[in-house]
Structure 1
Amino acid sequence: MQLFKPLFFCSLIAFFLSCSTKEKKSATVEKNETPVISKKAEQEDNNSKIEEETREKTKAEESSLDDDTTEVKISEKDLEIIFSSTNYWFEYNDSIEKLENDTINFELDLGNDVRGLNIKVETSKYDSIEVYQQYKNVISLMNDGKHCDLVNWKSHSSEWLAIKTIEANKHFQIDTFEYSVDFVSFNLNDLKVEVKNSCGEMWYDLIKEIKEIQNINEYPFGVATYKFYLKFILHNKQENIKKEKIISFSLPLGC
């Protein structure tokens, strides 16, 4: 009987030790089944996603760049007009100015022009639309690359001419043409006074000794096209409404 007790207690201790080992092993296995991600790896994964999103956004912006810079839309209550060109970058960038008498003006940057410009009327309450063009010339005074343009003095305006119609009442195009160098008659002394007042003494000294101008397009003088106009004649026959809208373009005259 004495021998039985020690054996019993030894067996009992061995049993508890065995269960404790199994529990530890089981806990270790469960712990290994849960993936452990370090903060560094998680941050790298987030950075990779951000870089990918940035690349996709940049790609989308680049793909739409041409559309954004070569097309300008004018939206009003009764009319929506789209100007577009593939020959140059027709930029908007707050260059539009609403003037009196239902006139809109665009300031074009150096290198831009209106020739070849496409004009589409997207929405309109008018069933008859005609578009005409006109341009204005001014005298320009030149000196070794510099110039002074007399935009507030006498000017020559061309006749109003209908532009090309591609689709009646919807799609028009300004032809590529050469601006004329025609100008109105003027008094030489009046010209000198205007140059002195508008351009300054340096420019006046350049021409003060001139007695006669044989050709207004001979150096140091020249004729420059300063403004281009589009006139829309809009007619709603059902409501008996007829109106005109003028869109003017201030053309770049150089440095």
Structure 2
Amino acid sequence: MKKYIYIIAVLITFNIAKAQEIRYVNADNGLFLRDNPSQDSKRIDKLAYGTTLEITERTNLKLDVKDDNNIVSGEWVKVTCKDDIYNNRSGYVFNGFLTENKIEKRFTVGFDDFTLEFENLNAEIIGDEQVSTHSNNTVDAILEMGETLEGKTIRVRHHSKYKSIKVFQRHENSISIQAEGPHCDLIDWKHFYSAWAPLKASKKTGTFETITYSNKAQNKFINVDISEFKNAVKEHCGDVWYNMIKDDKKINKGASTIGISKIYFKVIFTTMYDENIEKIVAFNVPMGC
């Protein structure tokens, strides 16, 4: 009996030793996946910040890499990509830019000349990245319920040399009719649009900080005829919702509320030839939450 207990203990110890060694890409600009443990070897892919990896082999081949004014020491390791986007690709990476701590991924939108990254943001692109309901220069996205764009850090990863990068933000307010839980949003009716506001850039990190909105900004709206408003509710929402506001004298009272329904970010990328490339990302904000 003791012999069997010993064998089981050995097997448990062996399985623990063979447990997955999970790491996350901590290189701000991404990390190259190579076909061999050498800086001269072929690049298989560039792994995005936060990518989940499993270390499957340690080569003991040491390497020192200069990162700005710092020296990062580590070794080449063989890994398998655990994120679906990379289809379990395997290859070698420098582990000086890996961490054991799970990293929140960035929401990214890629254009030909640059990539826009939002840190710690849960959102989803609507349809193809290059297809827009507005214009060829706009990408539509939607925030997950309960998510916010306030106080976020934006990075613009340039794919070519440039003279300047500027980022602007504006928001759209819409009317929502609120019940005890359900709500009807007049997102296809009238809106208030703020002016484009330039985002402050950090010279040290090259990042931009998003705007935090006051209650006053969130409640701004254009002047509307109250009868026209009631007709719009009846047409878009139905009699149940109309009955909730039919006796109201003005909007944003009683069951009707004003809130942010979209937030836009515009990037103006000026090339070395003074060509201005303008792209917009429009985030749909769930209302009534």
- Say whether the fold is shared (TM-score over 0.5): yes
**1:110 aligned residue:** 145
TM-score scaled to structure 2, two decimals? 0.62
Residue 121 of structure 1 and its aligned partner are, at CA, apart by 1.8
Does 2:110 match 1:75? yes
One-letter amino acid of the structure 2 residue matched with residue 54 of structure 1:
A
Moved more, 96-105 or 127-136: 96-105
One-letter amino acid of the structure 2 residue matched with residue 184 of structure 1:
I
**1:56 aligned residue:** 21
Does 2:152 match 1:152? no
Residue 248 of structure 1 and its aligned partner are, at CA, apart by 1.3
1:53 and 1:196 map into 2 onto residues whose CA distance is 64
Residue 75 of structure 1 and its aligned partner are, at CA, apart by 3.1
**Any stretches of 5+ residues in structure 2 without a counterpart?**
25-51, 54-98
**1:132 aligned residue:** 168
> Which of the pair has more CA radius of gyration?
1
Does 2:157 match 1:122? yes
Give yes or no for contact 2:175–2:185 (8 Å, CA) kept in 1. yes
Question: Which of 199, 217, 221 lines up with 1:163 in the alignment?
Answer: 199
Residue 76 of structure 1 and its aligned partner are, at CA, apart by 3.1
One-letter amino acid of the structure 2 residue matched with residue 239 of structure 1:
Y
**Any stretches of 5+ residues in structure 1 without a counterpart?**
1-37
Question: Which of 175, 178, 196 lines up with 1:142 in the alignment?
Answer: 178
Give yes or no for contact 2:23–2:102 (8 Å, CA) kept in 1. no
Identity of aligned residues (%): 26
- By percentage of residues, which structure has more helix? 1
Larger RCO (CA under 8 A, 6+ residues apart):
1
Residue 202 of structure 1 and its aligned partner are, at CA, apart by 0.8
| 2:254 match: secondary structure | coil
| 1:139 match: secondary structure | strand
One-letter amino acid of the structure 2 residue matched with residue 208 of structure 1:
K
| 1:235 match: secondary structure | strand
**1:28 aligned residue:** none
Q: Alpha-carbon deviations, 1:101-160, whole Å to 9, x = none?
A: 221222111221111111112224332111111000001112234321100000000011
Residue 229 of structure 1 and its aligned partner are, at CA, apart by 0.5
2:282 and 2:204 map into 1 onto residues whose CA distance is 22
Matched ranges for 1:218-237 at <5 A: 218-236=253-271
Residue 48 of structure 1 and its aligned partner are, at CA, apart by 4.4
Instruction: Number of aligned residue pairs: give it.
Output: 207
TM-score scaled to structure 1, two decimals? 0.69
| 1:175 match: secondary structure | coil
Q: Alpha-carbon deviations, 1:212-251, whole Å to 9, x = none?
A: 22xx222211101000011111111x32311210011111
